[in-house]
Amino acid sequence: MTEQHATPVHRHEYQVPPYRVDSLELEFSLDEEETLVKSRLHICRNDGINPHEPLHLFGESMELLELSLDGKALRLGDYLLKSDGLSIALVPAQFTLEITTRLQPQLNTQLEGLYKSGGMFCTQCEAEGFRRITYFPDRPDVMSRYTTTVIADKARYPVLLSNGNPVERGDYDDGRHWVRWEDPFPKPSYLFALVAGDLACRRDTYVTTSGREVTLEIYTEHENIDKTAHAMASLKRSMRWDEEAYGLEYDLDIYMIVAVGDFNMGAMENKGLNIFNTQYVLASPDTATDTDFENVEAVIGHEYFHNWTGNRVTCRDWFQLSLKEGLTVFREQQFSAAMGSAAVKRINDVRILRNHQFPEDAGPMAHPVRPDSYIEINNFYTATVYNKGAEVIRMYHTLLGEAGFRRGVDLYFQRHDGQAVTCDDFLAAMADANNVDLSQFSLWYSQAGTPKLRVRDEYDPATQTYTLHVSQSCPPTPGQSEKKPFHLPLTVGLVDTDGKDLPLQLDGESHALDTAHRVLEIREAEQSFRFVNIPKRPRPSLLRGFSAPVELDYPYTAEDLAFLFAHDSDPFNRWEAGQRLMSDLLLEWTAKGIGKLPQPLLKAIQETLAHKALDAAFIAEAITPPTEAYLAEQMQTIDPLGIHASREALRQQLAQGLAKQWLSLYQELASDNTAYRPDGDGAGKRRLKNVALGYLSCLHSESEQTRCLEQFRQATNMTDQLAALALLADTEGEVADVALREFYERWQREPLVVDKWFRVQAMSKRSDALDRVVALIEHPAFELRNPNKVRALIGAFCQANPARFHAPDGQGYRFLADNIIALDGINPQIAARLAAPLSRWRRYDSKRQEQMKLELERILKTQKLSNDVHEIVSKSLAN
């Protein structure tokens, strides 16, 4: 018998909500055994709605204790109660509904709604968690004013928080106390939050440009409060940046952040009360790496920026998710670029896009930035919605320019502040503010798939003209066989034989523009651009700054690439040329067998290392070969072991060919004794030093292993210690175990460091990595209930260790399927996320296809499979 699973929701079926809730009062009585939630909703029928329209409230996984309408108790029969909500057939135009529900947050392992993490109560309501707290029209276009009273035992839960401002508090005789919070801004239910616990607080203040003083508070468990200084500094930088870049100020008197150890995602932008995964708040030099410091700043910024892009203007429905997420990721990218190296930031953004979004767009879960349907909305918090969504926003910025973009954003806020709107509304604001037609641009929201941009060129010495012929196409994706041409910015420069950018004058223009590069607007399937006054054949630098989320096809020779790697004035394309040089070689080796490292590549890397004008962080990126995930995407049929072997061979040959340079670079950087600072400069130098150490350890000599062990033992910060540990954990001998044991013994009381310990082992290149990971599932520090632990061990192995995950015996697939099944009963959202690597089964050889498919089918046969996992797995198997 096949089980019943939820049916899809379609974007086109949107209807305005028949009833609105102008305000509500909530009262939570929190307790260890059961929690009671009383809500009083002030409900109005919307204009134009039929008076016979029933009232529907979503609700699940809780017990309804009482229900009354305008003070009159309702009995079963007055309303209809189902597993997903309740309906009342006939209601007045305006009325008050009172509801009491009983919850057991201590048993909530899904971490959605109200749950317990460690000793504290906390909530996660996006997207549809509020309906696990009380019955409510839990949809983002119902915006209400909330007053929330939290009651709990004063000794165990001295801190009681919710959205907005605290307005009243008091004590009861029985040891309990209460605090009442009022949020003056109408908000959708997904932004509701509550926290109760015994928490320490770091407090600070911030004065906005207009002179308002805002109290800033970061709450953590007591032992962690000393790790919150960086988060606080990041918050202040975010607030300042949003004022300077967008003229946007914070709007409440208090901004709170709470760090919790059990959290499904990174963080949540609840109005005035952000709840964060500890991973994105806590940072101290001895327990957090430079990357952690950067991530904390980025995520603090991201959630803060949501206050305007997401909270003040929110989404009409969940199909519009990218309206807030794409825009906020883009703002976060701008912020991080402004705080550090813009070039390195862009490289990392594109790396995420290519490693995660491109494969998604090429697989069975491919969907447009604004999806047309979903079964489980939690499955659509994807790289497409977030990262491709951010690229779409970036393209407006590139096409309209900084000032034009800002005009569009200003108009968007002017029109829609306080509203729940759509991606079309954002596009209309951009178009109207700039008086341009963006109707073709809207295809970026509706068409899935990564477009291919084919560029060919010709040079005519007689007329001194140079022509670029550009054609675009987009592969079919599920449900979309034909695609229309996209409107996109192609930023180009033409590099002369000295490495300088040529003045760019298109045929028909009176003079060259005074810029090194220009944005060509692509709208047609085929288009040509003729540049005049070009004295010699130039080398094109195409798609500078990665101006559109496409795959570029231009027949660069190795010589062209080496030249651009040495000279391109656009740092992104400079990096890109080096990556392409290496990936062309690695793909050739994977297909035809590993050969000898070509001298020009060795020379190019050597010159990059010696380049005085480049900063360390950029050099570190430039000399690192493309990831195995990126290489895999370039292959018709992915050969994970072949890719791994080629990449390792390249590293090995670079290590040997430049052994002296690595050593002197390492020694020079390691002798720097300046105190640790997690700033761009310090982090870049550490990164370069550790890349050099990585090459040195490819030499596989005993002395290099000793060097690693020394760095591991003597490191004064987590960045250096972890980098050395990761290299040691890759080695086959016993030293790996010695180091891993020392590390665990030292850090076992720091959960976030233990996560790193799991991750390093999950990503180890050792041949027995899977056996070790399987054994670690039984380790006392591992918990299937904790999403960070799952991501660190299972997620990292299956997503970031392709050579071991795709072992020919299929054991990696079986391991993953076993764990998806085990986790599905605990936390379906996280279980579904783990399934991504199996969903790509069609990209592999027939034997692997068979093995992966069998595991997917086994998952599908599991009794009581969640909608979350069911959606991913059944779509993966569909034809």
In the complex, the smallest distance separating the C-beta of residue 193 from Zn ion, rounded to whole angstroms, is 15
Smallest gap from Cβ 787 to ligand B3K, in A, equals 11
- Give the helix ranges, DSSP H, for 671-810: 680-697, 702-714, 718-729, 735-747, 751-762, 769-776, 787-790, 796-800, 802-805
CB of 315 to ligand B3K, least distance (A): 10
Stretch that binds Zn ion, among 324-332, 533-541, 661-669, 831-839 (CB under 5 A): 324-332
Contact 59, 84 (CB under 8 A): yes
Residue 161 interaction partner, one of Zn ion, ligand B3K, none, beta carbon < 5-8 Å per kind: none
Within a 10 A sphere around the Cβ of 848, how many other Cβ atoms?
Answer: 21
367 binds ligand B3K, rule: CB under 6 A: no
Q: Which of these segments, 301-309, 469-477, 628-636, 797-805, binds ligand B3K (CB under 6 A)?
A: 301-309
Give which of 51, 71, 42 is closest to 136, Cα–Cα: 42
In the bound complex, what is the minimum distance in angstroms from residue 70's beta carbon to ligand B3K?
35
Question: Rounded distance, CA 41 to CA 24, Å?
Answer: 5
Assess 639 for contact with ligand B3K (CB under 6 A): no
Under the criterion CB under 6 A, does residue 191 sit at the interface with ligand B3K? no
> How far apart are the C-alpha atoms of 654 and 649, rounded to whole Å?
8
Return the one option of Zn ion, ligand B3K, none that residue 388 interacts with (CB less than 5 to 8 A, by type). Answer: none
Q: Are 135 and 101 in contact (CB under 8 A)?
A: yes
Joined tokens for residue 297: 């700043």
Q: How far apart are CA 491 and CA 744, in angstroms?
A: 49
For ligand B3K, give the closer residue by CB, 269 or 391: 269
Q: Which is nearer to Zn ion, 328 or 382 (CB)?
A: 328
Q: How far is the CB of 310 from ligand B3K (least distance, A)?
A: 7
Cis geometry, peptide bond prior to residue 127 (ω within 30 degrees of 0): yes
- Pairwise CA distance, residues 471 & 452, whole Å: 8
268 is an interface residue for ligand B3K by CB under 6 A: yes
> Cβ closer to ligand B3K: 381 or 797?
381
Among Zn ion, ligand B3K, none, residue 539 binds (CB under 5-8 Å by kind): none
Site for ligand B3K in 754-773 (CB under 6 A): none
127 binds, among Zn ion, ligand B3K, none (CB under 5 to 8 A by kind): ligand B3K
Smallest separation, CB 385 to ligand B3K (Å): 9
Q: How far is the CB of 143 from ligand B3K (least distance, A)?
A: 16
Does 265 help bind ligand B3K (rule: CB under 6 A)? yes
The full 3-state SS of 15-44, as one line of letters, equals CCCCEEEEEEEEEEECCCCCEEEEEEEEEE
- Here the tokens at position 479 are 């449900």
Provide the β-strand partners of residue 146: 24, 183
Task: Find the shortest distance in angstroms from Cβ 758 to ligand B3K.
Answer: 23
In whole angstroms, how close is the CB of 268 to ligand B3K at the nearest point? 5
- The entry of ligand B3K, Zn ion, none near residue 265 (CB within 5 to 8 angstroms by kind) is ligand B3K
Let me know how long the chain is.
879
Q: Select from 263-271, 655-663, 687-695, 701-709 the region that touches ligand B3K (CB under 6 A).
A: 263-271
In Å, the largest CA–CA distance within the chain is 96
538 neighbors 466 (Cβ within 8 angstroms): yes
Residue 572, token pair as written in the block: 């992104």
State the binding string over 325-364 for Zn ion (x if CB under 5 A, else -). x--x------------------------------------
Q: Does 303 bind ligand B3K (CB under 6 A)?
A: yes
Among the listed residues 302, 407, 416, 574, the single contact to ligand B3K using CB under 6 A:
302
Query: 322, 386 in Cβ contact below 8 A?
Result: yes
Smallest gap from residue 299 Cβ to ligand B3K (A): 8
SS (H, E, C) 68-116: EECCEECCECCEEEECCEEEECCCCCEEEEEEEEEECHHHCCCCCEEEE
DSSP string, 348-412: HHHHHIIIIIHHHHTSTT---SS-SEES-GGGG--HIIIIIHHHHHHHHHHHHHHHHHHHHHHHH
Nearer to ligand B3K, 60 or 496 (CB): 60
Question: Residue 327 or residue 362: which is nearer to ligand B3K going by CB?
Answer: 327
Piece of the chain touching ligand B3K by CB under 6 A; list 161-169, 261-269, 546-554, 660-668:
261-269
Segment interacting with ligand B3K, rule: CB under 6 A, options 180-188, 267-275, 402-410, 766-774: 267-275
Residue 567 near which of ligand B3K, Zn ion, none (CB within 5-8 Å, type-dependent): none
- Pick 263 or 572: Cβ nearer Zn ion: 263
Strand ranges across the sheet with 539-542: 518-522, 488-495, 539-542
Closest CA to 857 of 845, 843, 869: 869
x-or-dash pattern for ligand B3K, window 269-298, by CB under 6 A?
x-----------------------------
Stretch that binds Zn ion, among 322-330, 396-404, 695-703, 718-726 (CB under 5 A): 322-330
Task: Using the minimum distance from each CB to ligand B3K, give the nearer residue, 267 or 623.
Answer: 267
Residue tagged active-site, from 25, 297, 303, 855: 303
In angstroms, the Cα distances linking 545 to 107, 180, 299, 491 are 48, 49, 23, 8
CA distances from 377 to 84, 307, 318, 365, 772 (A): 15, 22, 7, 13, 35
Which of Zn ion, ligand B3K, none lies near 268, with the C-beta cut-off 5 to 8 A by kind? ligand B3K
Question: Left, alpha or beta for 631 (phi > 0: left; psi -120 to 50: alpha)?
Answer: alpha
Radius of gyration of the chain from its Cα atoms, rounded to whole angstroms: 28
Comparison of 216 and 299: residue with beta carbon closer to ligand B3K: 299
Interface characters, 378-417, with ligand B3K (x: CB under 6 A): x--x------------------------------------
Instruction: Determine the interface stretch with ligand B3K among 62-70, 266-274, 640-648, 850-858 (rule: CB under 6 A).
Output: 266-274
501 binds ligand B3K (CB under 6 A): no
Q: Say which residues have a Cβ less than 8 Å from residue 335's Cβ, sequence separation at least 6.
A: 237, 238, 241, 242, 245, 298, 301, 305
Alpha-carbon distance of 116 to 440, in angstroms, equals 48
- Using the rule CB under 6 A, is 138 a contact of ligand B3K? no
| C-beta of 324 vs 759, nearer to Zn ion | 324
Q: Which stretch binds Zn ion (CB under 5 A): 317-325, 481-489, 490-498, 623-631?
A: 317-325
Interface size with ligand B3K, residues (CB under 6 A): 12
Element spanning 668, H or E: helix 659-670
Q: Any idea what DSSP says for residue 513?
A: B
Distance between CA 148 and CA 678 in Å, rounded?
Answer: 39
The least distance separating Zn ion from the CB of residue 330, rounded to whole angstroms, comes to: 11
Position closest to ligand B3K via CB:
126
| First-to-final CA distance of the chain | 22
Single out the segment in contact with Zn ion by CB under 5 A; choices: 116-124, 319-327, 592-600, 734-742: 319-327
Task: Find, among 83, 62, 84, 66, the residue nearest to 75 by Cα.
Answer: 66
Is 303 annotated in the active site?
Answer: yes
* 127 lies in the binding site for ligand B3K (CB under 6 A): yes
| Catalytic center residues | 303
List residues binding ligand B3K (CB under 6 A): 126-127, 265, 267-269, 302-303, 306, 325, 378, 381
List residues binding Zn ion (CB under 5 A): 325, 328
